Amino acid sequence: MKKNLAKLQAKLPDFLQQVDTDTGIRVRHGETIKMHHLKKLRRRLARYKKEQGIVFVHGIGRRKTPLQRLTETLDEYIRRLKDYHWKLHTCGRRNSFAKTDTDATFMRMKEDAMKNGQLKPAYNIQYGSEAQFIVWADVFPKPTDRTTLIPFLEGMHQHLGRRYPNIVADAGYESEENYAYLKAHKQTAYIKPNNYEASKTRKWKHDIGRRENMQYLPDEDAYLCSEGRKLVVSGIRHAKSRTGFVSEKTCYTCKSCKDCPRKANCIHG
């Protein structure tokens, strides 16, 4: 929808110029042509049609006037613009929605017996338990578990009036935002890291390009690679998630990798 909306916006300036050339009607607008500009133009074209006494024709073998072609094109642009805006508004922060149930989101379901991936409109149902009893449940239109933890815990706190000191969850809930939230509310996180299984493999442990396998120098805030060369702070990068959380990542760079015999094994890609 965003691509189609951008294509339509690209066509509108040329269309308005064509209207100005054929009818002398000009519509003032800013950098972006909005719906009220097109509706205003539609009213002016209708008034121009009445003043000129132009009759619109329909059917095979009947020639349309330039004004009728412009009006029909404008009506189509207005219809498409309304459709794009409605779909984007319905989608919200999601990537998709089902036409039969606009609250549902298309999600990749588990494979069936024939190993076929299922992409269907669905909901993400979350529940929390204590001592094998379900104490809270909620439904989300988000396909990933990572973005549901905070609203789930907030809903549980509002309805139950308490916060559990220990939160246990699987690897799908791991994110810096979730860790920061739990720390701010003095809750201990027992969340399995995404790289837990991979970090136990021999390939991971012998990868000299990973910072986990380098020696950290806390006094200098630097890393020491396998060749004894230092990686110092070269900058700080900020990234903003879809939920609005801003993460800060420190970048470390080696002063010189020239003539390093293990460079090919250290730098990937």
Residue 121 has phi, psi (to 5 degrees) of: -70, 130
The confidence score (pLDDT) of residue 241 equals 86
pLDDT digits (tens, 9 = 90+) for 106-121: 998 887 777 777 888 9
The confidence score (pLDDT) of residue 265 equals 85
Residue 215 has pLDDT above 80, yes or no: yes
Average of per-residue pLDDT across 178-188: 95
Are 197 and 210 within 8 A, CB to CB? no
Taking only Cα atoms into account, the Rg of the chain, rounded to an integer number of angstroms, comes to 29
Under the banding of pLDDT at 50, 70 and 90, the label for residue 267 is confident
Q: What is the DSSP letter of 121?
A: E
Are 176 and 189 within 8 A, CB to CB? no
pLDDT digits (tens, 9 = 90+) for 252-262: 998 888 888 88
The confidence score (pLDDT) of residue 104 equals 93
The confidence score (pLDDT) of residue 126 equals 94
pLDDT digits (tens, 9 = 90+) for 111-153: 777 777 788 899 999 999 999 999 999 999 988 899 999 999 9
Measured between alpha carbons, how far apart are the two ends of the chain, in Å?
Answer: 34
Residue where the block lists tokens 């009036």:
161
The confidence score (pLDDT) of residue 32 equals 87
Give the burial class of 50: count Cβ atoms within 10 A of its Cβ; 0-12 exposed, 13-18 middle, 19 or more buried.
Answer: exposed
The confidence score (pLDDT) of residue 259 equals 86
Are 22 and 70 within 8 A, CB to CB? yes
Are 41 and 19 within 8 A, CB to CB? yes
The confidence score (pLDDT) of residue 111 equals 74
Domain ranges for the chain: 2-91, 123-191, 215-266
Residue 269 has pLDDT above 70, yes or no: no
pLDDT digits (tens, 9 = 90+) for 63-95: 999 999 999 999 999 999 999 999 999 998 888
The confidence score (pLDDT) of residue 84 equals 95
Q: What is the DSSP letter of 5?
A: H
Average of per-residue pLDDT across 158-163: 92
pLDDT digits (tens, 9 = 90+) for 49-64: 999 999 999 888 889 9
The confidence score (pLDDT) of residue 20 equals 92
Number of other residues whose CB lies within 10 A of the CB of residue 200: 9
Average pLDDT, the chain: 91
